[in-house]
Amino acid sequence: MKDIKFNFEDLKVYQKSLDFIDFTYKTCNAFPKEETYRLTSQFIRASTSIALNIAEGAGDTNAQFNRYLQIAIGSVKECVVCSTIAHRQKYITKELDLEIREKLEELSKMITSLKKYLINTNSTN
């Protein structure tokens, strides 16, 4: 059986975003059950949105891809807020909050770098 692969799947930022989704699921599994349809749901949706927007924008025009990457940055910020709330509610430790923030900072930098690359590529054509 032949493997079918889409171009966006080769993007390192996309792979990192999938890793973050896995990390978010693992983190949210420790949240209280009453948070299932509140914070847990929002945190997982926000983390998933990062990868979805990278995938959706890839292969489109640079301007459109840039727009989707900006939405992905917004989802990164949502994840920061979810992590902060989880820490304030004592669902996660300060150390785990810091680890989440470090992962999100890395994703944010990668997305921003890709945005800059797309802008520079667009202006040289």
Q: How far apart are CA 58 and CA 94, in angstroms?
A: 35
Residue 74 lies in a domain: yes
Q: What's the total number of domains in the chain?
A: 1
Residue 2 lies in a domain: no
Q: 65 lies in which domain range? A: 10-124
CA 56 from centre of chain: 13
Please tell me the least confidently modeled range out of 65-69, 107-111, 117-121: 117-121
Phi (first) and psi of residue 19, to 5 degrees: -60, -40
pLDDT at 125 over 70: no
Mean pLDDT score across all residues of the chain: 95
Taking only the tens place, the pLDDT of each residue in 13-71 is: 999 999 999 999 999 999 999 999 999 999 999 999 999 999 999 988 999 999 999 99
Residue 93 lies in a domain: yes
Domain harbouring 36, CATH code: 1.20.1440.60
- Provide the percentage of residues in the chain whose pLDDT is more than 90: 88
Please say whether the dihedral angle defined by the alpha carbons of residues 73, 75, 76 and 77, taken in this order, is positive or negative: positive
pLDDT at 123 over 70: no
Residue 4 lies in a domain: no
pLDDT at 124 over 80: no
